[in-house]
A and B are shown apart, each in its own frame.
Chain A
């Protein structure tokens, strides 16, 4: 992380810049918020914590004018507000950076930063002023990128920083950061925190939503905890410990903590099985995406893929699923040569792939939980062999229960579910197809501790039952906890495949990522 946090006492004098009281919001089938309060004071970093489905995202959307509340008030500087749309909230000084980047990839960085408030001359966009102003903002925040390039030319992490630059430039009194660090690597997180502290010292109130406990203790002054759509309480961070905070998030039971302790890293390496690997890649490559790599995955084996964002982890996995065509090398499945021309071909060979980008590449948002769960199975059967409705209902009910998908309503539109529950829907979809290789790309990103532990346990159980798993995650601790072997990617190249014995530590993996050497 960045420099150690300077000890400071939160400035609680004066009145809150943003105050929400008694917020209530229901969606078809879900009561997302029920009488929630929140106060933000100028010059504080305030964490908003809660498990998946606790109502964090909904509360943010109410505060920023995306959803009007069914009941309750939002006041800015003591004046009650009713935002009909996000623009009104923005004009009132509330800026937001959402978990998933909401910018226009085909516009330039400069346009993205200043869209809607472009400098004008004679009614026309003043392009040189636009580029100058955007470049100045970028340098102020110690970033280095060409503002004339299209946003899509930059990595997801840089896009996230651009989204923050854009939000900051709106002269915000309140800055809402919804899971801003979930797609950033360590250096970028440090960069972001430095920026957040600078904004805090300028008197901006920052609402910080995250699942990373250490980040909360590193950065925040106070925390509001939600549980099941209700307010659990508002606390000062220095009066909490990570254990008590988790306790407040999950309620009475301390199950998650016990489980975390149980599953801490013990070195899960087993001797590489001698039989024919289920899947074997030799020199598999795709120009511009990933350099030729070799990888064997055996039955019952969990292979972790570590590497920085944009190091080619996802790209390597996509070749194994036929999502992209390999333009070099060969792939063997059960020892036989296989050319995967499409995901369909991979699915026919019992390979499943949960994309890191749930919304864009996984879910069909307006369809129901039931339809999303049965989709892969139904697609494999073809449209002429429909699963009967009774069968679909059975499947949906069973998986909703097994994975504890909330709300337990298979007819809810999947886009109304929280991130963690959406991830579970995707898992259910693929587990239903009984895969022999399950590729999980960042399955625990942006989801809470409880769901995370459940997913980790699921991976362990699947492997014990003989399923091969390829597990991609930016969290090294998680990769180490689950994997038998860890592949390390660096600059689109698989630089090492390390057996996960007791000598393998996050630092050693970081070393491999940093230097490309396996030390």
Chain B
């Protein structure tokens, strides 16, 4: 807060927060949660931060988190844009399964499963079909006015059936070195999946923030009625975000199936839509649409992946992993809730009827953390 002697008259800015400072504000809590989780892991496993080079590849828990988190980062990336428009995309899990199934089916039936052209055409088929899925979602939402949760629920349920149809209900295994590269290969010592995800995050970030796309998406999500009256063509934007979301999910599906060299229509990407929504929320993008933060989403996805890794490292019994995850997620959400923090700080200082404020105090402390 501004010190009392520094006060101008009302209506005049009391301080001038730069955009950068605001951005730091938004990312502070997701970053803090991630740091806490990582430090907690160090306490449990002392060589948690150790990264070693083996056969020219980097190995270590941090690298694992990045590699296994890459698909979730991608799905969350697309989900962020959809949520920023006040929508939600429940069909991404099914899209993950469909993309993996299509690619593996294509490679398994090809004469030359290992050749780059085969893998390339498999990727094109998978991404193309995903784009069609995105178009369908976008059409339902933007043109027919179906509520996003309903529109995408259709494919969430039906899509898994489609994936099983493609694989004939079997798990398709492929042995293709080139395909393995996508989810399990290395390039410049780093897992290829990490580089791919990072590249897509960078491209999305550039396209949304260097063009007016991000601002228009935020406008449509923040106030659809006003956005129409200001002349924004919302339909095109909506279709775009659903297509981006589906394409991101498809790439994630390729990574997942490539990593295990097989496609499982039943289980690939199961519940990933829910993890993605959670990652978006942890990252500070509200489900009510409007302002979004891609950086926050990446942090949110890494928080969730770190949590999954922690569960393995801790050796939590399999039957309790979900409960453990739920508990941590609840804590994370509470820590981020301004109302909860206000309540906590009020409780710590009971019987303070004087001028000591509650929420202003929290804001003050946030300021101190980021001077």
Contact = CB atoms under 8 A, between A and B. Distances in A.
B231 A376 contact: yes
A33 B215 contact: no
A31 to B, nearest CB: 4
Contacts of A409: 13, 16
B132 interface: no
A66 to B, nearest CB: 11
A371 B227 CA distance: 12
Nearest to A376: B230
Nearest to B229: A343
Contacts of B290: 364, 366-367
A387 interface: yes
A36 B192 CA distance: 61
Contacts of A411: 16-19, 22
Contact of B13 (A29, A54, A371): A29
A383 B10 contact: no
Interface string A385-415: 1110000000000000000001111011000
Contact of B226 (A26, A360, A385): A360
Contacts of B109: none
B358 A84 contact: yes
B216 interface: yes
B371 interface: no
Given A371-B215, A386-B211, A363 B223 contact: yes
A139 B271 CA distance: 55
B216 A379 contact: yes
Contact of A362 (B7, B11, B14, B226): B226
A383 B212 contact: yes
A361 B226 contact: yes
Given A34-B9, A344-B231, A362-B226, A26 B14 contact: yes
Contact of A230 (B10, B14, B212, B215): B10
Given A361-B229, A411-B19, A229 B212 contact: no
B360 A31 contact: no
Interface stretch (A69-77, A104-112, A234-242, A300-308): A69-77
B11 A229 contact: yes
A230 B9 contact: yes
Interface in B197-224: 210-213, 215-216, 218-219, 222-223
B351 to A, nearest CB: 11
Interface of A: 22, 24, 26, 28-34, 53-55, 68-73, 80, 82, 84, 228-230, 321, 323, 342-344, 347, 353, 355, 360-367, 371, 375-376, 378-387, 406-409, 411-412, 429
Nearest to A71: B355
B189 to A, nearest CB: 36
Nearest to A28: B17
Contact of A29 (B1, B14, B231, B359): B14
B353 interface: yes
Given A361-B225, A364-B227, A379-B231, A31 B14 contact: yes
B145 to A, nearest CB: 15
A2 to B, nearest CB: 34
Given A29-B14, A70-B355, 10 more contacts: A26-B1, A32-B10, A84-B346, A361-B225, A363-B226, A364-B218, A364-B222, A379-B230, A384-B212, A386-B211
B11 A30 contact: yes
B230 A387 contact: no
B357 interface: yes
